[in-house]
Structure 1
Amino acid sequence: MKLFECQSCGQILFFENTVCEHCRRAVGYLPEQSLLTALDPTGDRLWHPLEPSVKHEQVLYCSNHDDDVCNWLTTPDATGGRSFCLACRFNRTIPNLDIPGNLERWRKIEVAKHRLFYTLLRLKLPLKDRRQDPENGLVFDFLDDAPDGSSSVMTGHANGVITIAMREADDASRERMRVEMGEYYRTLLGHFRHEIGHYYWNVLVRDAGRLDECRAVFGDDRADYQKALQVYYDSPTPPDWQDSHVSVYATSHPWEDFAETWAHYLHIVSTLETACAFGVSVDPRVPGIGHASGRTLGDPYTQASFEDIMQAWLPLTYAVNSLNRSMGLADFYPFVLTAGIMHKLAFIHRLIRESQPAQRD
């Protein structure tokens, strides 16, 4: 994530800000320009962006701003109805806000979802909602378990529908599940990045005629999915899983391997952009370990070379893992990227690059 600057006073701004903490001006995010802009009120809930490059004379906050779950801006609806931003238009089911605690859980979910959309837009990935593609368009359902405990919502993806279980927004519940599942990492943002990987397998692989290429890297997706999951849960962990899989769950089926690898690619480019924004570089003060050195990469979203991304990423993980250990915390990135895993990540990198409009011209 990059940093932003208040156009009124020059104060640093962060992605989720709704007000400049220095001059107290309202701020909002313009997804088309990928920037936060300070705002002047013009009346009737409308605002004038102070960012000089913005062509819109008047904007308004997404309707979900009323619940303090979104700071994105949109243009007024011609009918005078509710206006949702680019990210919130993909919501099909929002939580029942009459349930105590659900508003705060929804806020956490929207923070993660908006960060996901920031990355998807920066990568210039295709996005179609259900109005544009009624059969397979992207849509989100944020659902609670049955109040009587008779059924539990499963986080997952099916034909463009991404379901997020509301309990995943409860930190204690999610950590308990992480321990029970033997996972290194379990976050809301991680869930979004994983599930969107399934969606883009449909869009960029299945529907783009690249099944053979993908199968050569991840294996044959025609293997029975439910049977593969049952075998995964009933069997001991493969001893050599780290040779070619970024997580144990990735061993269950080629679809899950693709989605897990996709999620890690998004982890990498997003974190590298943050490091770049802060001017972070790694230069260990120990002789003879030049392989652990790394300079800031520049904008990872525009990098053509996957090797350059890895050369920046690996030293950063060594450094930040060490910082976390100095605070008695778990590793920031507790994963080992072997040659086999990096081969899969390189496929994701190439798949995304070749899907971008500029790459097709």
Structure 2
Amino acid sequence: MKSFRCRVCANVLYFENSVCLSCGTGLGYSRAEREIVPVDGNGRYTDAAGLIWHVCRNLNLSGCTWLARFEGGQCEACDLTRVRPNDADAKGLSQFPVAERAKRWLLVDLDRLGFDVVGKAEDPERGLCFDLLSSVAEDVTIGHADGVITIDLAESDDAYRVRVQEQLGEPYRTMLGHFRHEVGHYMEWRLVEGTDRLAEARRLFGDETADYQAEIDRHYSEGPPADWPERYISTYATMHPYEDFAETWAHFLHMTDTVETAHIYGLARTAGPEDSPTFRAFVTDTWMPLSTALNMVNRSMGKADLYPFVIPDPVLDKLDFIASLRPRS
């Protein structure tokens, strides 16, 4: 994530800020400018073209600071949420802002990397939307199907998420991680399946037509193959080619976003893969040294590793493939 500064007083801002804590100016995030901009007392911002933008109507509901085109309307990020908890679900509503914050961060990831995000309103068949569901009254399964990403809001609760993480033996589990993983399924569906890249993807990740439920059942009855660390980024990636792609995609976003942030704060020499001849070189020359250093910083604080993963050579090939899906500027 890039660093932001208040345009009024130059104070450092954070992505979630709705008010500058130094000068008290109201703020909004302009997706078009990719900047946090000042808004007036009525929540309005006038851009360089003279267009007037308004703070999203969901500021108090979900903490959304993005700008909307019309007064009383909602922003493009909120437009992508198809289902949210109903107003009578107090627990679900309390968990909702955490998921929305992760979703907005994901959208900035995709914008930064040049991936188009098209909603269901624009493309009902291939567009993207999110169902952010409360599991207070019913079970919710996180997943993707036909452009619809479903998220269980219970994952907003740290205690719940850590308990599930321990039960499944996972080294890493976050709300942002869920969004990055599930959008990986969506991007494979949009950018790989039915294209001339499918044969190469199958060579790297396997045949995605393999029976999904049978492979999942096999994984939970037999566990991952003994040599999985030599070929996969995680045990979850071994379950099915779809999961291998989505896991690798999520790590592609983890790496690019973290390096950009580290560069801004003086912790990395380069800002991203653009400064490397290949994505493989970016991982080996920039990401691996940085993640090792950050792991040691965490250990110095008595914390678990920030990035508890080892990247074998076949995963570097998979990451190279995913990076190659990025649109050419």
1:99 corresponds to which residue? 89
Distance 1:275 1:251, change over 3 A: same
CA distance in structure 2 between the partners assigned to 1:46 and 1:180 by the alignment: 45
Q: 1:180–1:141: structure 2 CA closer, same or farther, 3 Å change rule?
A: same
Aligned residue type for 2:14: F
User: Which residue, 299, 305, 314 being the options, matches 2:278?
Assistant: 305
Tell me, in whole angstroms, the C-alpha distance in 1 between the residues paired with 2:56 and 2:156.
Answer: 22
- Give 1:68 shift: 4.5
TM-score, reference length from structure 1: 0.87
Equivalents in 2 of 1:130, 1:324: separation in Å?
Answer: 41
Shift of 1:237: 2.9
Q: State the distance in 2 between where 1:19 and 1:301 align.
A: 33
Pairs within 5 Å for 1:80-95: 82-95=72-85
Q: 1:239-290 CA deviation, whole Å, 9 max, x = no partner?
A: 2111111010100110000000000000000100100110114xxxxxxxxx
Report the Cα distance in structure 2 between the residues aligned to 1:146 and 1:135, rounded to whole angstroms: 30
Q: SS at the partner of 1:95? A: coil
Q: Deviations over 1:139-192 (max 9, x none)?
A: 110112262xxx411011011010001111111111100000110001000000
Question: What TM-score do you get using the length of structure 2 for normalisation?
Answer: 0.95
Unpaired segments ≥5 residues, structure 1: 282-295
Aligned to 1:211: 198
Following TM superposition, by how much is the alpha carbon of 1:10 offset from its aligned partner in structure 2, in angstroms? 0.7
Match of 1:120 in 2: 110
Q: Distance in 2 between matches of 1:321 and 1:17?
A: 28
CA distance in 2, matches of 1:244, 1:260: 13
Give the residue type in structure 1 aligned to 2:67: L
- Is the contact between residue 26 and residue 43 of structure 2 (CA under 8 Å) also seen in structure 1? no
Aligned AA for 2:164? M
Counterpart Cα distance in 2 of 1:36 and 1:301: 24
How has the CA–CA distance of structure 1 residues 324 and 141 changed in structure 2, closer, same or farther, with 3 Å as cutoff? same
Q: Any residues of structure 2 matched to 1:9-158 within 5 Å, and which? A: 9-41=9-41, 45-49=42-46, 54-76=48-70, 82-145=72-135, 147=137, 151-158=138-145
Partner of 2:314: 340
User: Percent identity over the alignment?
Assistant: 41
The Cα RMSD (Å) is 1.7
SS where residue 133 of structure 1 aligns?
A: coil
TM-superposed CA distance for 1:56, in Å, is 4.0
Structure 2 regions of 5+ residues with no counterpart? none
Secondary structure in 1 aligned to 2:58? helix
Q: Distance in 2 between matches of 1:260 and 1:130?
A: 24
Matched residue type, 1:336: V
- Contact kept, 8 Å, 2:248 with 2:318, in 1: the verdict is yes
Aligned residues: 328
**CA distance in 2: counterparts of 1:262 and 1:10, whole angstroms:** 35
Shift of the alpha carbon at 1:129? 1.3
Aligned to 1:255: 242
CA shift, 1:303, in A, is: 5.9
**Which position in structure 2 is the counterpart of 1:220?**
207
1:202 alignment partner, one of 189, 213, 219: 189
Deviation of the 1:312 alpha carbon: 1.0
